[in-house]
Amino acid sequence: MAGSVFGNIFKVTTWGESHGPALGAVVDGCPAGLPIDEEYIQKFLDRRKPGQSEFSTKRNEADKVNILSGVFEGKTTGTPISLVIYNNSQISKDYSNIAECYRPGHADYTFDQKYGFRDYRGGGRSSGRETAGRVAAGAIAVKLLSEFGVEFTTYVESVADISIDYSRFDKSEISKNMLYMPDKTAAEEAAEYLKNLSADKDSSGATVKCVISGVPSGLGDPVFDKLDARLASAIMSIGAVKSFEVGNGKLASKLKGSENNDEFYSENGEVRKRTNNSGGILGGISDGSDIILTAAFKPTPSIYKAQNTVNSKNENISLEIKGRHDPIIAPRAVVVVETMAAIVLADALIMNCGSRVDNLKKIYDR
Amino acid sequence: MAGSVFGNIFKVTTWGESHGPALGAVVDGCPAGLPIDEEYIQKFLDRRKPGQSEFSTKRNEADKVNILSGVFEGKTTGTPISLVIYNNSQISKDYSNIAECYRPGHADYTFDQKYGFRDYRGGGRSSGRETAGRVAAGAIAVKLLSEFGVEFTTYVESVADISIDYSRFDKSEISKNMLYMPDKTAAEEAAEYLKNLSADKDSSGATVKCVISGVPSGLGDPVFDKLDARLASAIMSIGAVKSFEVGNGKLASKLKGSENNDEFYSENGEVRKRTNNSGGILGGISDGSDIILTAAFKPTPSIYKAQNTVNSKNENISLEIKGRHDPIIAPRAVVVVETMAAIVLADALIMNCGSRVDNLKKIYDR
Amino acid sequence: MAGSVFGNIFKVTTWGESHGPALGAVVDGCPAGLPIDEEYIQKFLDRRKPGQSEFSTKRNEADKVNILSGVFEGKTTGTPISLVIYNNSQISKDYSNIAECYRPGHADYTFDQKYGFRDYRGGGRSSGRETAGRVAAGAIAVKLLSEFGVEFTTYVESVADISIDYSRFDKSEISKNMLYMPDKTAAEEAAEYLKNLSADKDSSGATVKCVISGVPSGLGDPVFDKLDARLASAIMSIGAVKSFEVGNGKLASKLKGSENNDEFYSENGEVRKRTNNSGGILGGISDGSDIILTAAFKPTPSIYKAQNTVNSKNENISLEIKGRHDPIIAPRAVVVVETMAAIVLADALIMNCGSRVDNLKKIYDR
Amino acid sequence: MAGSVFGNIFKVTTWGESHGPALGAVVDGCPAGLPIDEEYIQKFLDRRKPGQSEFSTKRNEADKVNILSGVFEGKTTGTPISLVIYNNSQISKDYSNIAECYRPGHADYTFDQKYGFRDYRGGGRSSGRETAGRVAAGAIAVKLLSEFGVEFTTYVESVADISIDYSRFDKSEISKNMLYMPDKTAAEEAAEYLKNLSADKDSSGATVKCVISGVPSGLGDPVFDKLDARLASAIMSIGAVKSFEVGNGKLASKLKGSENNDEFYSENGEVRKRTNNSGGILGGISDGSDIILTAAFKPTPSIYKAQNTVNSKNENISLEIKGRHDPIIAPRAVVVVETMAAIVLADALIMNCGSRVDNLKKIYDR
């Protein structure tokens, strides 16, 4: 039942419920000497903040991060970094009507089955708010990776059937529209679709893509901690994610070997690939090209339409969910996907240092 | 760089290279008192054996499992179970032409990048043969789960664009055709497709589906060891898997909340769901309905067509791969998907026993 | 470098430096349904509070614990429990003279060697204050164990050469004298000794004994997670502990087999032992009799006497340590030994639930 | 119940029972490029072989190690190293009289309590033979450490009350006498003592000391994976060990701070210590001086004297143990202590590489 610790060396523990006094994370195993401050981390938390757009909830969550340990004179000390985000006074009564009932698509029923009872306020630990701790911790991983030239480009690739058109791909557009799509036209079309859906008391699924450049080759630890296996674990652990793909993903099941293989070639003394169908990972180890991930998010399960369900007394009931809920999960989850991927890569980076005797000797040479 | 241990309590360590003297696994944390013998395990290994069909390699791999510890008088003792599969005299010269070159779609290049050198014979540790240890270990997990009524149905769902038709679904058909498809017509069509592909020195991708019934509700450990996250990690760690889906999977990204939510209802005092779009997992915890997973396998990267690539001296070369290679990976991987899923579930089952104080008291009540 | 997470399932992460804004712990894997509140935990923290006696430091540390997550309506929910203890405004200038120098017997030098720099204020992470998080977390373990009838008796057994006389053993005396000794006469003698030592600007070592009754047989996981190995790890991780013994401990090296073996006998249908030289553990597994541990604490390294040492510029210097430091560590560490032992036992208790298939079936029987 | 995996990155899994077909270990996480062969490992196994002296058992255990994976062309490949030691045809009937009874000082009773039944042949998993796997795995750790100049001196320091005299210390003597004592006179005296004890059907306790030179400063991961905590865990996990000490050990509890502190001084630009009471570890991190450990072994519990005990039917019985048993455990355990310490240090060495951003950059600098 312990499942809130992630990572082998760069080890993240998250804690906190939607309506408790605070949420947070502890990062153990971050190397000493990394410059970091609350301002840096805050930028990531701001990206998952609700109330940013007309498609996200109107609750006022300041989500201000506090560093309580592990940083001294602006640098990490190598000791655990404790990050806390205090919850503003949440009014719990919005959720009182769900205390006794099992919302379709939610974890109410399974938490009761597992633990015997649950903190029902706002979803408790199964709320999307839980990801605040992940984002704060993952921001430190992004910072660590940035020291090695690693960069992330993460965005919403599709909303229902509306996909971005890569011929219109514009990275700068991602932070400009409320759906974090790198294609203004697609973003406008999707916005219109969501508006109508909201009016219909419904919600939509979407996909998020994460492209990571500058990753050194050699990261990932076969056979069970292959880089793609670790990334899959990290991304699938985000609430509402129903599929994970790397590179060509599911499409690879439809291709021929001659179509899917990436040819190597040598140029200026470096080994490169003509295509990147593998998504930057071969045999579970990074190959130096871009790492490409896709996650599919289910539609928000909290919809305003009346739904049939049961309560904890096992009675059939009709439920109308109140409160404020986004009609789409993916835009706010973009930064969650990015930071979870960063945690995996930071961990793999540190793990890789011990993989060769000559590497160890570089450090211990006296 | 340590990545060959999987699981929190039901802990599996695998070892072995394609052309070394043996491969194997150690299962630590299997409860005592489980009846098990070599014959039971052997049936699972036989399902991944090559030479079963015209689409799998003709190498003669007996893959006979030996139990070296942890079983006494036909039952597990609670101590580690060591499983060994000796390699028959493999003739390495088939692979001598690849010692120096980086095969497209293979891990040759990344292993060299990570470890500085590699056992190039037959792919070494990155060979599909590595999964023999997983299957042997996972067979014990299947046995443990069977004591609780858990059952697996695993099969090839599609080969390239040829999908099974669920109106023709016939479970008994799975073991009858060489592609492990539960639809005779689709299997025949796919066989024809692969035959032509082989003639063309090419290979094909495919998908594998695993449906698990009888899983108790309450398994899975949020937030990082959610059941779907653990399953994703297990399945994505299998060589050639490029996507992982649970329930509706990627399709969920295209649906509305009102379409994707599964309504609960009460019948005969039990909570049930009208649909199972979630694939048996809600909030990362099993809900008692069937668990449904889909894995996409890329086409076999070893194709007989000439391919451009580089060698370890960084020279551009043309490569024609020799030896015997399946034109499709998925059929032999069906049992690998099944046993890896079983390892995750066995681990989650044992983990779950401590999730409630009242559960613990059932055992310690004196 | 990640070393702040302890336990397999009942998993404790601690964080915090002596002079940072706060210290704390996260307990992951505590079963749901355990009644717990801040008041219960506070009693344990109060036992390690300084300023309790004339032999402990006069700094005013309120050490008030706050539960930030994982407890709802007075009971644990099975999700991570976050515990925070805010530091009162610590005036750092007391320690400014040690920023640049390596105190004998302290971790200043080794932290610099490992991490390149350190939070020098009050010892930072290597301060005894670090144990506050352990005690808060461990109090929850004690509570869990108390549900199964487990009880702890922990005390100072000796101060330098002054040992308690077991013919005068009085459990109620432990909390009455300032040295936590269960023998009033020995406590008075030791107090007198320490008074003279303080006048001489020196400090003293001591031993702490922990006797644990009511532990069910069967706890501990051979061969590496034997109960005594886990307890050794837990106790030796407490600052200043230099030896760990179980049962007869080092004395066993001087005995004959016929003296050291504990004979079993049967009485009223129960298996018992005539003696308990083994300290309640056989083959790394609890045998149902009292578990008996002894830890030796070195003398407080911070003494007021002038000492020769070096500074971070590698210059030989003479150092006089300022500030307030206990002349003895052990009395305040009594509760740390107790709570660390409890964390190990709670973890082993939960781990043990999966050791037999029949145990698992008790829970899953449907 | 999973307790047979040890280490964070340099991860050792052992398996095997006294009278099963084989015992062994898997070493995962050993860096690639380390020269190793069976001959090197065999030397360590030979040091724990019985039948070496008149005080060890006469069973014929060849203990020949086989490397089944992870080594290619004489060097480690970075993949798991599987080590197997086949048991020669053990005749089990010697042990048949103990199948039903609980030997005093043995784990028979506790294994039955934990697992419900046990492999009673020769002690099964709780036999001293279990350490063969540890020694084989640990030999690889010693080899890795030797590349960095680390050296071990391990010996029996005392047998009952007969201690070595350090004025007569002679390292070369260790391998010359059958008790592995570095003092010929003490060894002779102890041999005489044991001879008389054997005649009296009794056994003796002893202590083992391990001194490790050349360990780089900076190893160990506070607060729970402090180097001494990890070493304690490793050494206490060896059967029959009842106490663990580092440096002055228990003696520190009797000393004053002014006596126990080690003064630093600077010489030729290096920081040194005038004494080494701390045993080479400060704040849980190696300080560059010798690491000094002491383990106390209880007397062999299998004695030929008649003992009162109970059987598994709960009946009081008298037991006379047959078979061949050493009257002292420590000499054969010398190499076990050494190799377990090596596993801890190898793991800490690799862990330390990620502790500083500048260290990571040394490897990733492009």
Q: Count of CB atoms within 10 A of residue B155's CB?
A: 27
Residue with tokens 């509402």: A240
Q: Among C2, C249, C296, whose Cβ lies nearest the Cβ of D221?
A: C2
Average model confidence (pLDDT) for chain D?
94
Chain B residue closest in CA terms to A162: B254
D59 pLDDT exceeds 60?
no
B216 Cβ under 8 Å from any chain C Cβ? yes
Say whether D82 and B22 touch across the interface (CB within 8 A): yes
Say whether B299 and A245 touch across the interface (CB within 8 A): no
Tokens representing residue D275 in the block? 């004494």
Spacing of C-alpha C311 from chain mean position:
31
* Of C130, C59, C122, C62, residue with least CA distance to A82: C130
Mean pLDDT confidence for B222-241: 98
Cβ pair A70, A85 in contact under 8 A: no
**Looking at residue C322, what is its pLDDT?**
84
Mean pLDDT confidence for B351-365: 92
Chain C residue closest in CA terms to A120: C72
B353 Cβ under 8 Å from any chain D Cβ? no
Gap from B289 CA to chain C (nearest CA, Å)? 15
List CB contacts (< 8 A) between C119 and chain A. Answer: 72, 77, 79
Tokens representing residue B55 in the block? 């689409």
Say whether A84 and C68 touch across the interface (CB within 8 A): yes
Residues with Cβ < 8 Å from B41, sequence gap 6 or more? B65, B67, B83, B136, B139, B140
Chain D residue closest in CA terms to B85: D68
Chain B residue closest in CA terms to D80: B15
Say whether A357 and D148 touch across the interface (CB within 8 A): no
Gap from A15 CA to chain B (nearest CA, Å)? 9
Say whether B257 and A352 touch across the interface (CB within 8 A): no
- Give pLDDT tens digits for A279-309: 999 999 999 999 999 999 999 999 999 999 9
* Of A280, A178, A138, A283, residue with least CA distance to A225: A283
Say whether A262 and B104 touch across the interface (CB within 8 A): yes
* Of B269, B267, B289, residue with least CA distance to B279: B289
CA distances for B56 relative to A22, A29, B294, C118, C134, angstroms: 56, 45, 22, 60, 57
D194 pLDDT exceeds 80?
yes
Cβ pair A290, A61 in contact under 8 A: no
What residues pair up with C342 in beta bridges, in sequence order? Answer: none
Which residue blocks in chain C are alpha helix, DSSP H? 38-48, 108-115, 131-146, 184-199, 227-236, 257-260, 330-352, 357-364
When pLDDT is cut at 50, 70 and 90, the band that residue C35 belongs to is: very high
* Of B126, B161, B171, B135, residue with least CA distance to B50: B135
Tokens representing residue C40 in the block? 């219960």
Q: Among D147, D358, D363, whose Cβ lies nearest the Cβ of A33?
A: D358
**Looking at residue D255, what is its pLDDT?**
98
Q: Among C109, C283, C284, whose Cβ lies nearest the Cβ of D287?
A: C109
Say whether D148 and A360 touch across the interface (CB within 8 A): yes
Say whether C26 and A10 touch across the interface (CB within 8 A): no
* Of B277, B294, B278, B286, residue with least CA distance to B232: B294
Query: Backbone dihedral region of B39: left (phi > 0), alpha (psi from -120 to 50 degrees) or beta?
Result: alpha
List CB contacts (< 8 A) between D3 and chain B. Answer: 28
CA distance A254 to A237: 27
**Looking at residue C94, what is its pLDDT?**
57
**Looking at residue C212, what is its pLDDT?**
98
* Of A204, A78, A151, residue with least CA distance to C119: A78
A4 Cβ under 8 Å from any chain B Cβ? yes
Range with the lowest mean pLDDT among A183-192, B282-291, C117-126, D191-200?
A: C117-126
Gap from B73 CA to chain A (nearest CA, Å)? 32
Residues with Cβ < 8 Å from D302, sequence gap 6 or more? C257, D103, D105, D106, D203, D321, D323, D325
Say whether A350 and D354 touch across the interface (CB within 8 A): yes
Chain C residue closest in CA terms to B223: C79
CA distance D279 to D293: 7
Rg (CA), chain D: 21
List CB contacts (< 8 A) between A2 and chain B. Answer: 8, 221, 225, 351
Tokens representing residue C261 in the block? 């073996």
CA distance D24 to D5: 12
Gap from D88 CA to chain B (nearest CA, Å)? 13
Gap from C73 CA to chain D (nearest CA, Å)? 32
Chains in contact with C, where contact requires at least 3 CB pairs less than 8 Å apart: A, B, D
C363 Cβ under 8 Å from any chain B Cβ? yes
**Looking at residue B100, what is its pLDDT?**
87
CA distance A263 to A272: 8
Spacing of C-alpha C309 from chain mean position:
30
C85 pLDDT exceeds 80?
yes
Mean pLDDT confidence for A98-115: 93
Say whether C203 and D256 touch across the interface (CB within 8 A): yes
Which residue blocks in A51-204 are alpha helix, DSSP H? 108-115, 131-146, 184-199
Residue D40, classed as helix, strand or coil, is helix
D351 Cβ under 8 Å from any chain C Cβ? yes
B184 Cβ under 8 Å from any chain D Cβ? no
C87 pLDDT exceeds 60?
yes
Give the per-residue SS3 of D112-176.
HHHHCCCCCHHHHHHCHHHHHHHHHHHHHHHHHHHCCCCEEEEEEEEECCEECCHHHCCHHHCCC
Chain D residue closest in CA terms to A359: D363
Long-range contacts of C72-76 (CB under 8 A, 24+ apart): C72/A17, C72/A117, C72/A118, C72/A119, C72/A124, C74/C35, C74/C36, C74/C37, C75/A117, C75/C32, C75/C33, C75/C34, C75/C35, C75/C36, C76/C30, C76/C31, C76/C32, C76/C33, C76/C34, C76/C36, C76/C140
Tokens representing residue A30 in the block? 């971050």
Residue with tokens 């500030």: C323
Say whether D68 and B9 touch across the interface (CB within 8 A): no
Average model confidence (pLDDT) for chain C?
94
Average model confidence (pLDDT) for chain A?
94
CA distance D19 to B14: 23
Tokens representing residue C24 in the block? 């704390």
Residues with Cβ < 8 Å from A298, sequence gap 6 or more? A105, A205, A240, A241, A242, A329, B248, B252, B253, B255, B260
Range with the lowest mean pLDDT among A10-19, B52-61, B240-249?
A: B52-61
D12 pLDDT exceeds 60?
yes
Chains in contact with D, where contact requires at least 3 CB pairs less than 8 Å apart: A, B, C
Rg (CA), chain B: 21
CA distance A25 to A21: 14
Say whether C69 and A1 touch across the interface (CB within 8 A): no
Say whether B303 and A354 touch across the interface (CB within 8 A): no
CA distance B277 to B249: 8
Mean pLDDT confidence for A77-97: 80
Mean pLDDT confidence for D285-305: 97
Residues with Cβ < 8 Å from A26, sequence gap 6 or more? A12, A13, A80, A81, A82, A83, A137, C4, C13, C15, C26
C211 pLDDT exceeds 80?
yes
Cβ pair D218, D268 in contact under 8 A: no
Say whether C244 and D243 touch across the interface (CB within 8 A): yes
Q: Count of CB atoms within 10 A of residue C61's CB?
A: 17
Gap from C280 CA to chain A (nearest CA, Å)? 28
D131 pLDDT exceeds 90?
yes
Chain B residue closest in CA terms to D2: B29
Range with the lowest mean pLDDT among C9-13, D18-22, D257-261?
A: D18-22
Give the per-residue SS3 of A100-139.
CECCCCCCHHHHHHHHCCCCCHHHHHHCHHHHHHHHHHHH
**Looking at residue C2, what is its pLDDT?**
87
Residue A220, classed as helix, strand or coil, is coil
D98 pLDDT exceeds 90?
no
- Give pLDDT tens digits for C102-155: 999 999 999 999 999 899 888 899 999 999 999 999 999 999 999 999 999 999
**Looking at residue D100, what is its pLDDT?**
87
Name the residue with higher pLDDT: B57 or B317. B317
Q: What percent of chain D has pLDDT over 70?
A: 94
- Give pLDDT tens digits for A135-192: 999 999 999 999 999 999 999 999 999 999 999 999 999 999 999 999 999 999 999 9
**Looking at residue C303, what is its pLDDT?**
95
* Of D231, D205, A3, C112, residue with least CA distance to B226: A3
Which residue blocks in B71-207 are alpha helix, DSSP H? 108-115, 131-146, 184-199
CA atoms within 13 A on the CB side of C186: 24
C366 Cβ under 8 Å from any chain B Cβ? yes
**Looking at residue C344, what is its pLDDT?**
98
CA distance B338 to B293: 10
Burial class for B36, CB neighbours closer than 10 Å (0-12, 13-18, 19+): buried
**Looking at residue B51, what is its pLDDT?**
52
Gap from A309 CA to chain B (nearest CA, Å)? 4
Q: How many beta-carbon contacts under 8 Å exist across B and C?
A: 88
* 73-102 in chain B: CB under 8 A from chain C: 78-79
C47 pLDDT exceeds 60?
yes
List CB contacts (< 8 A) between D117 and chain B. Answer: 32-33, 72, 75, 77
CA distance C120 to B208: 57
Burial class for B300, CB neighbours closer than 10 Å (0-12, 13-18, 19+): buried
- Give pLDDT tens digits for A49-74: 765 555 665 555 578 999 999 999 99
Gap from D217 CA to chain B (nearest CA, Å)? 23
When pLDDT is cut at 50, 70 and 90, the band that residue A365 belongs to is: confident
When pLDDT is cut at 50, 70 and 90, the band that residue B167 belongs to is: very high
CA distance B69 to D22: 7
D353 Cβ under 8 Å from any chain B Cβ? no
**Looking at residue A1, what is its pLDDT?**
67
Q: Among B33, B216, B361, whose Cβ lies nearest the Cβ of C356?
A: B33
CA distance D296 to D209: 9
Q: What's the distance, Cα to Cα, between the start and end of chain D in Å?
A: 45
A353 Cβ under 8 Å from any chain D Cβ? yes
Spacing of C-alpha D215 from chain mean position:
18
Mean pLDDT confidence for A341-346: 98
Residues with Cβ < 8 Å from A223, sequence gap 6 or more? A284, B3, B4, B14, B125, B130, B237
